[in-house]
Amino acid sequence: MIRVMIPVTAMFLTCSCSWASSADVKGSISTFALPSGIQVKIVEAPFSRAVFKVEPCKNGEISICRINGKLPHGVDGSEPKTYLKELTVSYKGKSYKLETSGMFNAWGARPLQHPGSVRYFGGFCYDENTCVVRGLFADGAASYVAEWAIVDGVPERRIITESSDVVHLFIKNIDPPRFE
C-alpha cells in the first residue's frame, strides 16, 4: 500500500473540508468536517491482545478468525495494528458516539479525501436529531464500510460489511441518499 501525504492547505482548496490528526503512544485522533457540516472525531488505539479475546482459525490458513467472539472487520487474517476506540459525530450542538465494535485498522493517518480521489466519510443530517453517516475503512483486501443512522437522537449501526459490491457502492456514493 502506498500512502500519499498531501498538505492540509491543498485539501481546503479541493474539498472544502477541514482535517486534523494527532498521534502519540496512545493512538491517534482524527477530526474533520463533512461538506454537510457534520463534525467527525475518530479515535484509534493500538491493538492489544490483553484487551481482546483473539481466536485463531481451526484450519490454520488464517491466523485470526474471531475477536471477542465475532468476525473482525479490517483484518486480512493477521493481527490488527489498531482498533476503533471511538467515533463521534456532531451536528448543531448535539454529539453522538457511534457503535465501533469489531472495527480494526480503520483510519490511520488518512485525510477525509485525497484531491481528485474518493472521500472516505460522508453523511448529512435532516436536523440535529436525525442523521445518516457512512464510512469507508481500512485498505486493500481488508477494506470495509459502515453506515449509521441517528433517529430521534438514538444512534444505530445499520451496516458493517467488507462485501466488495457494497464497498464499491459506498466508494461511488459515500453520501447516503436523501429522502424528502
Mean pLDDT by 10 residues, the chain (180 residues): 29 32 60 97 95 86 85 90 97 98 93 90 97 95 96 98 96 90
Residue 10 falls within a domain, yes or no?
no
Torsions phi, psi for 144 (to 5 deg): -150, 165
Q: Could you tell me where the beta strands, DSSP code E, fall in 14-81? A: 19-24, 27-33, 39-46, 54-55, 66-67
The answer to whether the beta carbons of residues 81 and 107 sit under 8 Å apart is no
CA angle (156, 97, 141) in 5-degree steps: 70
Q: What is the dihedral of CA 3, 9, 13, 18, to 10 degrees?
A: 80
Amino acid at 88: T
Residue 122 falls within a domain, yes or no?
yes
Any residues with CB less than 8 A from the CB of 24 and at least 6 apart, and which? none
Q: How many domains does the chain divide into?
A: 1
Q: pTM for the whole thing?
A: 0.82
Residue 102 falls within a domain, yes or no?
yes
Residue 127 falls within a domain, yes or no?
yes
Q: pLDDT value at position 61?
A: 66
Q: pLDDT value at position 77?
A: 78
Residue 36 falls within a domain, yes or no?
yes
Give residue 131's domain range.
Answer: 17-172
Residue 1 falls within a domain, yes or no?
no
Any residues with CB less than 8 A from the CB of 151 and at least 6 apart, and which? 129, 130
Q: pLDDT value at position 30?
A: 95
**In this structure, is the dihedral angle defined by the CA atoms of residues 140, 102, 120 and 26, taken in order, positive or negative?**
negative
Residue 139 falls within a domain, yes or no?
yes
Residue 12 falls within a domain, yes or no?
no
- DSSP at 62: S
